Structure 1
Amino acid sequence: MEQILDGTGAEGMAAACLERLETLARHGRRAVAQAGAFSHEIANQSERVEQALAATRESVGEDTAERTAAALGAEFTVAVETAMGTLSGELARISAHIDARADEAGRIVQEIARLGAVIRMLSLNATIEAARAGEHGLGFAVVASEVRQLADQTRGSAERANASIDFSDVRHEMQQLRAAVSAMLATLQDRAQDTSERIRTVFTQVGGELATIAANNKAIGEALGAVTDSVARAEGRTAAAVELASTAATALREGRPATLPGLMQKAGCRVPPPGYDRLEDVLRRGRLLVAIEPSFVGLSFRRRPGDRLAGLDVDYAEAFARWLGVTCTFLETPWDLCTERLEVAGPEEEADVVWSALPPNTGLGPIAYSRPYTYLDFVLARRAGDHRIRGIGDLGGLTVGVVNDPSAFATLEAAGLRWSGNRQLPGGRVTLGNLVAFTDQGRIHEALAKGVVDAFAVDHPIMHWAASGEDSRWRGRIEVLPGNIAGEPWYYAAAVARDPANFRLLDAIDAFLTWFEGTEERAALERRWQGGITPGRRTYRDEPGGLAGAPELAALWRAAHGGEPERSVPGPRSHRLEMSA
């Protein structure tokens, strides 16, 4: 405090404040740097986890489970069938061998029985002849009697032998054995099939869990990418603030306040001269500087590397520049930084206007909006053929991508979708597995096509050309579901910094859009990039937060300069049109 009081009045106070600001900014820069280091480390860990998950899913994923179960089933079926065939063959061979031997023994026994019968017949004849011989045949009768007894014994033995070699019961038991073995092998095969099905189920469950982990990890990776970008930007801005505060404090301490505008210009903070009018500046230099996202497929993008920018926003901005009679220079800027480009340019040029899929919202900072130049639906896109998803009601437990835009979050929330950040709010109808906000607009379509997200909620023009354009590499890989998540059409507006110096430029944009609305060029433009003209009625005035447009900038002009600002603006083919109040 004494240091401040000992300073040279207001300049001393300003210098002390700047030194304090420099100290705070330096501490903030250190914290941002640490956050950046942590996010890089987490990103590296996430990448390693993704690699490990990919390898593990290859080993135990659902496809692997199917292959393993099929292989186990096929191998066991072949083994059982081989065993059954071998055993059946051996049993049949043994049975045939036994049958052959039994038949042979039966024939021998039959021969013995027949021989015994013949001998018995001969003994009977001998007995009869001995009886006729009288006393002379008594001895022969004794022999004949013995022979008859031997024949009877032979026949008895043959009958017993024939009974002993009857294998009909053995054949029956063999048949029963074959049936029992077949039943046991069939049961074993069924149990093996059940086991393979259980293996398939377990593998599939594990694969599903790994897929969920992988999806979460991908979501973390996307979020970390956004965090890393944000940290890098914050670090750059903080470094600029530290340098500006330090050099400005030094200049004030040394009594050199006249150098402050130059220091601010060096830091990217333009200091316009008194009475500066941006429209006059645009007409004088002959160039309109347009901040635009270069990777917004369908809006502002290159079909192939090296091509000029194309898309709905590009066509509108170039049409306005022609209407002004100037050329259009695109300042390619990440979408979430486009509005910053209106105020802080850094080493590059400061933008005159943002013409890049901008829905008016208080979260975008101190800017002023034109009337809408296009209306559109907020749609849901899915991978081609993914019939699980027919609308937002099918998104429970799934990962959904969305553009990093406050309006998109608010629309999904109003539609009843809930995720980790708003799960506690009432009125939820569907709880998502993850909601991934994409800052890198160039990754939207590939992330959907490759399954980083299951579905994407996004502006219709961003998906229309990608899904249907003849030279789109995503044609046939993604598709747009009919309907509008938002309930009523969205709209885009051009934007300028909320500064009275921008009133006439914004007024000219509104005049151009009024004229352009009924032209065939505008109708063809809308058909080309979103399939036709979507009617709508909302404007920035319907949004909460008291957003500004041309009338509000005119009020700022009157407050700053007094009187009414000139509202004469260029018209088609560079002639002048008088605008009515």
Structure 2
Amino acid sequence: MHIPFFRSFSRIREPSIAPEPAAEPAPRLGGQLERALGRTVALLQYTADSHDALDDVFTEIDGRSRTVIEELDTMRTTMEQSRQSAQDKAQASIDRLSALSQEAIDSLTQLSADLDKRMERIGAVMETIERSSSELSLLAINSGIQAAHGGEAGRAFGVLATRMRNLAERSSLDARQVAKLLDFSPFRASFTQFNTTLAHSIGDADRRISGAFHSMSASQIDMAARMDEIEAHTRAIPDMLANARDAIERGRRVLEIAQAGCAEMQNACHGPRALAAAAQRIGAPTASGVSVLDSVRGRGVLRVAIEPRAWGMSFRARGASQPRGLDIDLAQAFARRLGVAVEFVERPWLECPWLLMAGADAGAAADVMWSALVPAPIFHRVAFSDPYVHFRYVLVRRQGEARFTDIGSLAGHTLGAMPDPAVPDLLHAHGVRWGRDSLQAGVPRLKNLLIFPSLTEVFDALCAGRVDALLLEQTMAGWVCAAPDSPWSGRLEMQAAAPSDPVFHYTVGVCDDSAADTMREELNAFINGLHSVPDYGQLLKRWHIEPAQVQPTLQ
């Protein structure tokens, strides 16, 4: 990987000190130079690691951005198809309903015309019946008159009776015609048929409209799911960019330290005294016989590098004048054992190992790192003490959240974590994949794995819902979830780890240099004596730490 720092050598100012008279170098000159350059190389390796991390972050951001673009394109296509389909179906429904309406109007018009004709015919028949009735009435009157005269009346009455009979027949015939004309059963049959046809047509239209709305609803559900996916990916980008900025800042600080160290070493080439001054400035012992432990006792102060936000281990609460936690208590007890005071050098956790080799300013280097240090090969030129507490990783979730019971239950959800090399191994051990490592079909995968540079940020992200759960050391999770003065007490809860999960441990770090061997021996003696001290168990309870009981193979 290209590291821009190497270009800056040509711009380092010329030595400001005059060359010393030629003299035979001190016997320790080569060893000092080798040690100083070794530490500078280690700092550059940290820089390379920071740039590698930065490259991975930007690669992941690029992949997530491409996913967002692809999802947006798919969503746009789906929305356009849904819109066009809804428009077509709506138009078809409108046309169908229009045709049904016109058909109903025509049918009703025809029925109305038929009814009018029938009523006209009925009226004509009724007029005929009325005339017949009138004539029959008149004849009846005349017959009565004639019958009153007697004699010839009988004959006349017979004639009249005949006419009345004929008229009655006509009336009967007309009555039958009227009854026939007044038979509305054909009309009722036609109307019934019309109603049936209309009902079927309307039912068909209803089914078409229902189908259209169902299709639209399905499209909306699909669009909502895609929008959720986009939201999840988009939500990860700000945190990833924050991680990128953090990596850039770390790289910048390391480059400043390395540039200053190389400038000092360039000046040191002009004589032994300059070399000794440069070695002292970057934290190397000035004499092979002076150990880190002797320097601490001679100085009267043990300088301890800590992370000020390792909750429960080494942290400074808001407004507090002094840091506290399990690591703080142990470091203070170790300093009392040495008969010296203790000075805490507070830096972000990933920067603390740098201080074991060099600081940005003279005297800023640390003698030990005592802050939740898990031994791992990513820490260059760091030697580790014996373990002082064992623990497992646990899930932290929002209070009352019952969906997440183990790592496997996180499939399809967003997990938060710290930049801890143990996290990917634990996920793989549980068969869970994520990101570019999740392409195999049928393998449980996370929606997102977000790495946060700060424990404060990761807990706030869980409370805000930007992540669904956290994977964290029980040592810190215990205090965060249970301590009354924790900012997250009552909002988060801890899910116990499975007994089969691996056990990890914390150590104290010193510089991997022979000058620090006696310091590490003294640390190991102190740590091995802790388990026989009753107060140590009370100290663990004070910080809500339940150490793993199984003695593991060292991780």
Same fold at TM > 0.5: yes
Q: TM-score under structure 1 normalisation?
A: 0.64
Aligned 8 A contact 2:250 2:351 in 1:
no
Q: Deviations for 1:259-290, whole angstroms, at most 9, x for unmatched residues?
A: 23434555x44444553344454455554322
1:123 to partner: Cα distance: 6.6
Q: Which residue of 1 aligns with 2:456?
A: 442
**Who is 2:417 aligned against?**
402
The answer as to whether partners of 1:264 and 1:270 remain within 8 angstroms in 2 is yes
Partner of 1:343: 357
Q: 1:179 to 1:146 in 2, by over 3 A?
A: same
Give the alignment's TM-score, normalised by structure 2: 0.67
Count of matched residue pairs? 496
Aligned positions of 1:151-190 closer than 5 A:
152-154=169-171, 156-167=173-184, 170=187, 174=191, 177=194, 181=198, 184-190=201-207
> What secondary structure, in the 3-state scheme, does the structure 1 residue paired with 2:497 have?
coil
Deviations 1:163-201 (A, max 9, x none): 434545545655665565455545544544443343333
- Note if contact 2:309-2:456 (Cα within 8 Å) is conserved in structure 1: yes
Q: Which amino acid aligns with 2:480?
A: A
Q: Is the 8 A contact 1:300 1:312 kept in 2?
A: yes
1:521-532 aligned at under 5 Å gives the runs 521-530=535-544, 532=546
CA deviation after TM superposition for structure 1 residue 323, in Å: 5.1
Query: What residue in structure 2 maps to residue 497 of structure 1?
Result: 511
Q: Does 1:369 align with 2:414?
A: no
Q: CA deviation at 1:494?
A: 1.7
Question: Are residues 418 and 129 of structure 1, via their aligned partners in 2, closer, same or farther at CA, if it must alter by over 3 Å?
Answer: closer
Q: 1:463 aligns with which of 447, 460, 477?
A: 477
Q: 1:360 aligns with which of 375, 387, 397?
A: 375
Query: Residue deviations 1:128-187, cap 9 Å, x none?
Result: 647744545767876776566556545544553454345455456556655654555455
Q: Is the 8 A contact 2:510 2:520 kept in 1?
A: yes
Q: By how many angstroms is 1:336 displaced?
A: 1.6
Moved more, 372-381 or 320-329: 320-329
Preserved CA contact (<8 Å) 1:467 1:479: yes
Counterpart CA distance in 1 for 2:338 and 2:214 is 72
**Pick from 293, 299, 304: which aligns with 2:307?**
293
Q: Give % identity.
A: 26
Tell me the equivalent position of 2:427: 412
Q: CA deviation at 1:381?
A: 3.5
**Structure 2: 5+ residue runs without aligned partners?**
1-21, 88-93
Q: Give distance in 2, aligned partners of 1:10 and 1:195.
A: 96
Other-structure match for 1:230: 247
Q: Quick one: which amino acid aligns to residue 536 of structure 2?
A: R
Output aligned runs, 1:550-565, within 5 Å.
Answer: none
1:195 to 212, 234, 257: 212
From 260, 263, 270, the counterpart of 2:275: 260
For residues 320 and 364 of structure 1, the distance between their equivalents in structure 2, rounded to whole angstroms, comes to 23
Q: Is the 8 A contact 2:416 2:450 kept in 1?
A: yes
Deviation of 1:350 (Å): 1.7
Q: Distance in 2 between matches of 1:311 and 1:435?
A: 28
Report the alpha carbon displacement of residue 508 of structure 1 after superposing the two structures with TM. Answer: 3.7
2:58–2:244 contact (8 Å) kept in structure 1: no
Quickly say closer, same or farther: Cα 1:248–1:340, change in 2 above 3 A: closer
- The SS at the match of 1:198 is helix
Mapped partners of 2:132, 2:338: distance in 1: 137
Equivalent in 340, 343, 366 of residue 329 of structure 1 = 343
Q: For residues 205-240 of structure 1, what are the alpha-carbon distances to aligned partners after superposition, in whole Å with 9 as ceiling and x for unaligned?
A: 333334334434554554444344333333333344
Q: Is the contact between residue 288 and residue 515 of structure 2 (CA under 8 Å) also seen in structure 1?
A: no
Counterpart amino acid of 1:160?
Q
- Contact preservation (8 Å) 2:474, 2:545: no
Pairing 1:535–2:552 present: no
CA contact (8 A) 1:278 1:502 kept: yes
Using the TM superposition, give the Cα deviation of residue 359 of structure 1 relative to its aligned residue in structure 2, in angstroms: 1.6
Checking the alignment, whether the CA contact within 8 Å between 1:109 and 1:161 is kept in structure 2 is no
- 1:19-68 deviation line (CA, Å, top 9, x unaligned): xx9xx99xx99x99xx89x98x979x98x979x99xx89x99xxx9xxx9
SS of the residue aligned with 1:205?
A: helix
Deviation at 1:468, TM superposition (A): 4.0
Change (3 A) 1:137 1:521: farther
Unaligned runs of 5+ in 1: 1-7, 73-78, 544-581
CA distance in 2, matches of 1:421, 1:276: 50
Q: Which amino acid aligns with 1:352?
A: D
Alignment partners' CA distance in 1, 2:197 and 2:354: 84
Distance in 2 (CA, whole Å) between partners of 1:485 and 1:201 is 45
Offset, 1:373:
1.8
Question: In 1, Cα distance between the equivalents of 2:542 and 2:185?
Answer: 90
Q: Deviations over 1:499-557 (max 9, x none)?
A: 34434443443343344334454323323444534313237xx34xxxxxxxxxxxxxx
Map 1:299-318 to 2 at 5 A.
Answer: 299-304=313-318, 308-318=322-332
CA contact (8 A) 2:482 2:544 kept: no
Alpha-carbon deviation of 1:326? 4.9
Quote the residue 1:379 is aligned against: 394
Distance 1:190 1:466 in 2: 58
CA contact (8 A) 1:415 1:486 kept: no
Q: Secondary structure at the match of 1:338?
A: helix
The answer to whether the 8 A contact 1:291-1:353 is kept is yes
Secondary structure of 2:309 counterpart: coil
- Give distance in 2, aligned partners of 1:442 and 1:323: 33
Most deviating of 526-535 and 173-182: 173-182
Secondary structure of 1:209 counterpart: helix
Q: CA deviation at 1:334?
A: 1.4
| C-alpha distance in structure 2 between counterparts of 1:532 and 1:251, whole Å | 51
Please state whether the residue corresponding to 1:354 is helix, strand or coil.
strand
Distance (whole Å) between structure 1 residues aligned to residue 472 and residue 343 of structure 2: 27
Q: Is the 8 A contact 1:126 1:141 kept in 2?
A: no
Give the AA of the match of 2:377: T
CA contact (8 A) 1:396 1:433 kept: yes
Deviations 1:310-368 (CA, angstroms, capped at 9, x unpaired): 44433433444455555543322211221111112112722222121112223222223
The structural deviation recorded for 1:243 is: 4.5
Mapping of residues 31-46 of structure 1, within 5 Å: none
> Which one-letter code corresponds to 2:254 in the other structure?
R
Relative distance call for 1:149 and 1:451 in structure 2 (3 A) is: same
Which digits, 9 at most, give the CA deviation of each residue in 1:471-503, with x for residues without a partner? Answer: 545456544333238724221112222234434
Displacement of 1:460 after TM fit? Answer: 1.6
Give the whole-Å Cα distance in 2 for the aligned partners of 1:181 and 1:475.
68
Partners of 1:318 and 1:113 in 2: how far apart? 130
Matched to 1:463, the amino acid is: A
